[in-house]
Each structure stands twice: as C-alpha cells, then as structure tokens.
Chain A
C-alpha cells in the first residue's frame, strides 16, 4: 500500500502561504476601520444637529407618526422586555427635547411627537400601574411599598416631563410633573439611605441617577431646589455603593444598602452621564475609571465590555449578546456612546462610531437612518447620544454642588 507523504516542496509552499496570510492579516486588519471612519462631529457636536442625529430622529418620528409601524415596533419590543418599550419612549422624548433645544425651528414637528408619547405613556401607566413597563417579577410580594411604585418608572417619566417642559411649558403637564417629582422626593426621603425600589427590594443605581437628573432638570422648570437631596444621595453612594476593586459605583443593591450586583457597563455609562448634573468631577472620575476597566479599542474600533475583570458575569437582557474572546457587549457599547459624548472623549467616540458603522448595519434612505442589528430602543438610545447636552446645560451642569 502506497502512503502519501507530503514533499518538501509542498510543505515549503504551505509554509510560505501561511506566512503570506499572516502578513496580509497584519497589514489589513489595522486598516479596516478606515473604511468606516467618520469625523466624530458626524455623530455628536457641541452646537447644532449632527447628520446622524438628524437621520435617526427622522426615522424615529416617522415610526411614531405611523400607527401601524409604531404598533409593530412596540409589539417586537414587548415580546422580549416591557422595559424596552418604556425606555424606547423615554429616550426618544429626551432626545427630541435636546434636538429641539439645539434647533428650535424643529419645535413644530418634535413637540407633537413628544406629547403623543407622554400622553400615551401616562395613560398606559394609569390604567395598568407601573407593571405595564416592568418585567413580570415586579409583581412578587417582596415589596413593602403599597401601592407599589418603581423608581425606574417614576424617574424616567419625571425626566421625560421635565425635558418636555424645558423645551416649552405646557399647562397640561405642569401638574403631572409636580406630582411625579413629589413622589420621587417622598420615596427617597422615606428610606434611611435615600433609596427607592425599582423592583421589589431592588434598588438600581442607574434609576437613582436618572431620578436625580429629573429632579435637577425639574428644578430648572419649576424653580424648586433639590441640590441638597442630590448631594445627600451622592454622599451615601460614595460610602456604601463603591465597588472596592474598581472604584466604580455598583449597579444593584437592596433597600438595606446591601450590594447585590457590582458595576455593569450597561448602567455605569448612563450613571456617569446623569451624575454629571449632580457632581461633574465625581461623574468624570467614574467615566475615566469605567473606561479603564471596561472600555476597549481594537484595531481602531472602540467597544465596551459589560463587566470589569474583578466582577465577571453572564450575558443577560441588559448586556445583550457578548462577542466571545473580545467580550464585546452590545448593551454596554451602546451606552458608552452617551458617556463618551458627555465627557467630550472625541477619539473614543469616533472609534465607537466606527464599530457602529461596521457591525450594526446602518440602513439609510430618504433622510432617515436605522440600524438593522438594533431595534427601536437601541436606535432611540443612539439618538440620545447624538443629541445630548442642551438639557443638562440648561439645568446648570452640577458645578454648583
């Protein structure tokens, strides 16, 4: 029987091919990002409206104006997570408020959409309670607050109302904003650690950061002053909620202040953004630590991991899918845009944008933009990242604390 033995010539050719492929990879991979690279100002700019913001806003408003498209989008989101339906609304209203503050001439088209979302959201909440926007386990009996209120729902609605009122005061929304702010204030004051539940016996740092931002934006509209409350909460957080290994704020704790979950990318970026309205120095330090722990750049592409090395975790509904080896988290990377824009990190923002252009599959047409690999809430969060700034500026970005 004859055995096939590779000749020296064949082996040498294979080795040469392997080396050529390796060299080709070393040459090609570092330049791929140039195919997707755009100036950071295409995504976010200090003044005016960026082209990405313009196109994303057009797409989102088209969807909200079309009852069939809107119904289909909401159904798609709710099938996975009722929170996404809610956050898709809140991110969009906050974004449109920022967009309108950037370009007041768009008020005629943005205000009706904002009002439609707010009216519909309040009506849904009134008839079904906060559960309509929460995961099913919100109905568990662990909560001591009756009727059950969720700081997640109250905080985001309050910020939505305050954002709308910042753009243009509506008589019809003045009272709902006052009531919502009063509810948040009462919930926080009822706790010795100034904390309120989002789910039964679950306090989320992110929801507190959003609620504090709502109080600050609300102050600007109503002439109230919640600076001391914000300062007190932050003092408590610095004492109890800092993850020792990273110095980052944890993501979840109980009503007694026991930490349940350490820092997470899907929340820390937004926390840093919201706390910039309360204590900019601390918020910036959190951003820089988070970037060091979970912010990454590979071959010119920016992305973020969900967990720092000292607090590993599993992929969940917040993190989105995790790409193996590089540990890229869709949820964390999406939220990282907001913080990078907040703290003027143009280089990383451009690198994150390159990743978005390459791997989120943008679909552009008729002046609109959506990302095929995303959904309505993901696109609304992106829109928020492209427009954020003016609301915080109007609320007097925390420097006075």
Chain B
C-alpha cells in the first residue's frame, strides 16, 4: 500500500495512458512509460484487491483462533 501511495504521489498515474498506446506529454520512451505504468497497475490493483483480502483473512484467522481457544474441552 505504501508503495502505491508513493507512486501515486509521484504522479505515475499519468503513465497509465500507455494502455491506449499514447505517451504522456513530455515522455519519450515507450519502454520506460510501459514499465512505470505496469508497476502502477500492479500496486494499485494489489492495494485495491489483494491488501484488503489479506486483512480480512487475518481477521478470519484471529476469529478462528479465538473460537478454538474458548471452545469447552470435553472430558473423555
């Protein structure tokens, strides 16, 4: 998430125009723009889709452990 916020603050969002095969104003190298756009996409979708999933999974794990800890032990 921090990586995405950093790239966002650096204005890398403008490089995503590469999906239309056009270069942002001032840019000269398609390769450089593509690399930056790719990194931005990966971190954006990672932050949007994957990060909340990990948080949610951690919450489920925590709930699962708590449930196990408080489960009454049955005598044999």
A interface residues with partner B (beta carbon < 8 Å): 16-17, 20-21, 23-25, 27-29, 32, 72, 76-77, 79-80, 317, 320-321, 330, 358, 361, 363, 372-375, 378
CB distance from B18 to the nearest CB of A (A): 8
CB distance from B4 to the nearest CB of A (A): 12
Residue among B20, B52, B56 having the largest count of chain A Cβ atoms under 10 Å: B20
- Given that A16-B64, A361-B16 are known contacts, is A24 also in contact with B54, CB under 8 Å in the complex? yes
Instruction: Tell which of B19, B23, B55, B64 touches A321, judged by Cβ atoms closer than 8 Å.
Output: B19
Q: Is A23 in contact with B60, judged by CB distance below 8 angstroms? A: yes
- Given that A24-B53, A32-B48 are known contacts, is A80 also in contact with B60, CB under 8 Å in the complex? no
Q: Is A363 in contact with B20, judged by CB distance below 8 angstroms? A: no
CB distance from A72 to the nearest CB of B (A): 5
Q: What per-residue 1/0 map shows which CB atoms of B30-61 lie under 8 Å from chain A?
A: 00000000000000000011001111111011
- List chain B residues, Cβ under 8 A from A361: 13, 16
- List chain B residues, Cβ under 8 A from A29: 49, 53
Q: Is A25 in contact with B53, judged by CB distance below 8 angstroms? A: yes
B interface residues with partner A (beta carbon < 8 Å): 13-14, 16-17, 19-23, 25, 48-49, 52-58, 60-61, 64
Can you give 20 A-B contacts (C-beta < 8 A)? A17-B57, A17-B61, A20-B61, A20-B64, A21-B53, A21-B57, A23-B60, A25-B53, A27-B56, A28-B49, A28-B53, A77-B22, A320-B21, A330-B19, A363-B13, A372-B13, A372-B16, A373-B17, A373-B20, A375-B20
Closest 10 CB pairs of A and B: A24-B56, A20-B57, A373-B16, A24-B57, A20-B60, A21-B57, A24-B53, A375-B22, A372-B13, A375-B20
Residue in chain A with minimal CB distance to B21? A80
CB distance from B76 to the nearest CB of A (A): 21
- List chain A residues, Cβ under 8 A from B60: 20, 23-24
Q: Is B57 in contact with A32, judged by CB distance below 8 angstroms? A: no
Residue in chain A with minimal CB distance to B23? A76
- Given that A372-B13, A372-B14, A372-B16 are known contacts, is A28 also in contact with B22, CB under 8 Å in the complex? no
CB distance from B42 to the nearest CB of A (A): 13
Q: Is B56 in contact with A330, judged by CB distance below 8 angstroms? A: no
- Given that A20-B61, A23-B60 are known contacts, is A330 also in contact with B20, CB under 8 Å in the complex? yes
- List chain B residues, Cβ under 8 A from A321: 19
Residue in chain B with minimal CB distance to A358? B48
Residue in chain A with minimal CB distance to B12? A372
A15 and B63 alpha carbons, distance in the complex (Å):
16
Q: Is A320 in contact with B48, judged by CB distance below 8 angstroms? A: no
CB distance from B73 to the nearest CB of A (A): 19
A330 and B20 alpha carbons, distance in the complex (Å):
8
- List chain B residues, Cβ under 8 A from A16: 61, 64
- Given contacts A21-B57, A80-B22, 17 further A-B pairs with CB under 8 A are A16-B64, A20-B60, A20-B61, A28-B52, A28-B53, A29-B53, A76-B22, A76-B25, A317-B21, A320-B19, A320-B20, A321-B19, A330-B20, A361-B13, A363-B13, A372-B14, A373-B19
A29 and B56 alpha carbons, distance in the complex (Å):
11
A23 and B19 alpha carbons, distance in the complex (Å):
32
- List chain A residues, Cβ under 8 A from B55: 24
Instruction: Tell which of A17, A27, A32, A374 touches B20, judged by Cβ atoms closer than 8 Å.
Output: A374
- List chain A residues, Cβ under 8 A from B23: 76, 79
CB distance from B31 to the nearest CB of A (A): 15
A32 and B51 alpha carbons, distance in the complex (Å):
12
CB distance from A79 to the nearest CB of B (A): 7
- List chain A residues, Cβ under 8 A from B52: 24, 28
